[in-house]
Chains A and B, each alone.
Chain A
């Protein structure tokens, strides 16, 4: 019983996301994938780079419903009255300028 009540260290809330891009050079598979909801732009950028399995890391920006994602997925979900039950479509673009939010990851 005790064991069951203890929160799991590895436990991360997850959500299904679909990564889409207009740039065919950096496109990844269109199928939804489960990612932790505590990710921000930087973590998501790492995920896309992992999926691209390229040698050099490209910084990306992410858009949800046409607006840049500036918070964690978690915060976005709550602010927009969504839940981890829905699949989020994330559009990604090459970051135009050096990312400002790097330090806040």
Chain B
């Protein structure tokens, strides 16, 4: 049946030699872009509250005025009236790179742009050295191609690339997000250090054509509640048409409704990228915006 063939085709792997060549090609091509992205991410990840003074200590740098009256009232017994400069704690990140392995990616040059994006982002993150990366492939099924626990190196890059064939017969984004949220939950429980300094991000790399926007919208909200940010990178390669102009036809109570596909796109943070060189700038921009919002909200 259809299900079986979908699973078989997604299990197909690319020959190791071919995967190695591809990885080397894209890693080299994106090296300087990757270094640039790494620098931008370093600035974003730098703790912003490093200079805050915090109480309550017997000695310190500055008096905590709110402690003075209780101090006098307690006949100078409650003497933890000093604040000290809080030590900046390093933020840790866990990033899932989810790559669309469905057949639609093979039309045009979307699949090449997707692999280029993986090489670029994975390298930037691994040279930051303050977190963990996981790589997923999704289509009819979602698979972990690289786990959080393992460091991401050139060898694992080759290994990951060998798992993408862009032949899956469905694009089940809902399954992807559900699996990702449960992976994040487990990874948060296993993470060392303060959970408030843990930064969980999913970067989805896809041509963007997915179904069931209403359900996905609910899942995106659930991700927000779990403090997981999802950035959807739409790789819109050069072909006869663009997702920016794609329309969709729906029958609502027998009436035809025509709307722009992106008008109901469920992901709040999405970027349409046509050239990998645009990526570091737009990605860093989206992350900076999200980070500013999440610091304000905290």
Interface residues of A (CB under 8 A from B): 3-4, 8, 10-14, 16, 30-36, 43, 46-47, 50-51, 78, 83-87
Contacts and interface: CB of A to CB of B under 8 A. Distances in A.
Contact of A35 (B2, B215, B222, B249): B249
Given A3-B218, A4-B218, A78-B2, A50 B258 contact: yes
B211 to A, nearest CB: 6
A32 B251 contact: no
Interface residues of B, number: 32
Nearest to B257: A50
A78 B1 CA distance: 10
A50 B211 contact: no
A10 B250 contact: yes
Interface residues of chain B: helix, strand, loop or mixed (majority): mixed
Interface of B: 2, 102-104, 107, 168-171, 174, 178, 209, 211-212, 214-215, 218-219, 222, 240-241, 245-252, 256, 258, 261
Nearest to A32: B241
Given A78-B2, A83-B170, A10 B249 contact: no
Of A11, A46, A85, the most chain B CB neighbours within 10 A belong to: A85
B211 A33 contact: no
A85 B171 contact: yes
B251 A12 contact: yes
Contacts of B2: 78
A71 B222 CA distance: 39
Contacts of B169: 83, 85
Contacts of A78: 2
Contacts of B107: 86-87
A4 B249 contact: no
